[in-house]
Amino acid sequence: METLVLFWGSLFDTLIGSNIFVFGEPFLLAAGAALYSGKVIGVIAVMLGGWCGDQGSYWIGRRWGKPLRRFLFRRYQRTRRPIARAHHLLQRRTRFILIFARVMGPVAWVVPFLAGAQGVRWSTFTLYGAIGLCLGIGQFVLWGYLGAAGLSQLGWWQPLALFFDEHANLLISLLIVLVLWVLIWRSAMAFRKTLCAAVLLLALGAVNYVHFFIENEQGKPIPTAEGRSTTLEQVEWTTYPGEASVYPAQPINVVLIGSSPETLMSALGWIKNYTFSRDDFDLDEYVTMLRVKQPPVSDLFWQGEAQWQAWQLPGSLVARSHIRWWYAGVSEKSGLPVWLGALSYDDGLKTAHYRGIITLLHRIAKDVDSERERMATAIQNALPSWSAVTLPAQQAHEANDYYTDGNVLVVGKPTVVGSTTPNWLTQLF
């Protein structure tokens, strides 16, 4: 998706008409920053977009040059001077202007269009225009690359870069919506307000579709479990609905020791969910999940890592108990595997800021501790051979979305280590 955004941004910056409203510099700088991260495809995208925009402008000028020039003169007064200047320069020094127009300010807006209108040979325009394209785009790509190289040495740049990277689709879509709103409002057409609202909803819907079904890295492999170790004091007890540090936290409130979540969850009657990042499914399969009231679980991030598994109890589309699990490593005290769970209850829907987009998500019940106690009771009733101990792990606090007393439920099976003492879990973790 980011590659397409760079392509279209560069194309609209060079295509006659749209380049009056769309400024390509941010896209070109972004391609340079991406190049610093090793992504060459961004540079290819802006080069190809610029070339297509130039070609489109040339052929528009070739076919409709004179009437469009009169329209621009009449409708957009600020185009008079660059058009007249470019027309004069093209007549005198065609090849030179085709090469260096992109470093001559507003002249670059109209040179391809005028080249077509004045009958410049296509082969001449394509050859020298391509050289100019590399020169004009290359300078901004270079500045973007150098800027990213310098800013990467600053500590505050990393979270800022992560924020813009995660929110790129939303920001670009809002920019496009703003441009369309200006065009709609200037057109004086009927139902302008309704049409503007429809454009915004369509843009948000497109961003959601791209995010969940095209760009979301479905089938992303689970990280390696080797080499991890942890203690109770080292655990970070919060998760976030995104990787940038701008989201409200949700708590980790369950710890599983010495077993895998599949064993515990299946024994308690929970159903395994699909998740957008770990599982690969298309829109038809998503609709099927909605029909059986088992919608996929949106991603939460613990230390920047999406959940490894997600489970739910049978429920409705808007009300269900669910838990996400992360593998935290091996306990330094016992050598047993440790899993962390974020357990909560969905009690409705809400419009939410999630992973850099605006979307419709489930709203979690504010009292997440009640779900923790409910699981403890279920384990005691259904799995008498298991142990479940509530321990203080963090400070009690209240956030916008939840309240917690700071305790976590530590769960395990004593037979794993041959112990039957009541406090065996506290000794192991």
Q: Note the pLDDT tens digit of each residue in 112-151.
A: 888 888 778 888 888 888 888 888 888 888 877 777 666 5
Flag whether the pTM goes above 0.85. Answer: no
Owner of token pair 């058009």: 83
What percentage of the chain carries pLDDT values higher than 90?
A: 8
What are the pLDDT digits (tens) for 209-236?
777 777 655 445 555 555 566 666 677 8
Structure-token pair, residue 221: 């492999």
- d(CA 268, CA 388) in angstroms, rounded, equals 13
pLDDT at 97 over 80: no
Domain ranges of the chain: 2-153, 229-428
Distance from C-alpha of 413 to C-alpha of 373, rounded to nearest angstrom: 18
Instruction: State residue 218's pLDDT score.
Output: 47
**What mean pLDDT value characterizes the chain?**
78
**What's the gap between Cα 219 and its chain centre?**
16
> pLDDT (tens digit, 9 = 90+) per residue, 277-323?
877 787 888 888 888 888 888 888 888 888 899 999 988 888 889 89
Whether the Cβ atoms of residue 277 and residue 217 lie closer than 8 Å to each other? yes
- Segment 157-179 shows an average pLDDT of 69
Q: What tokens were used for 140?
A: 């901004």
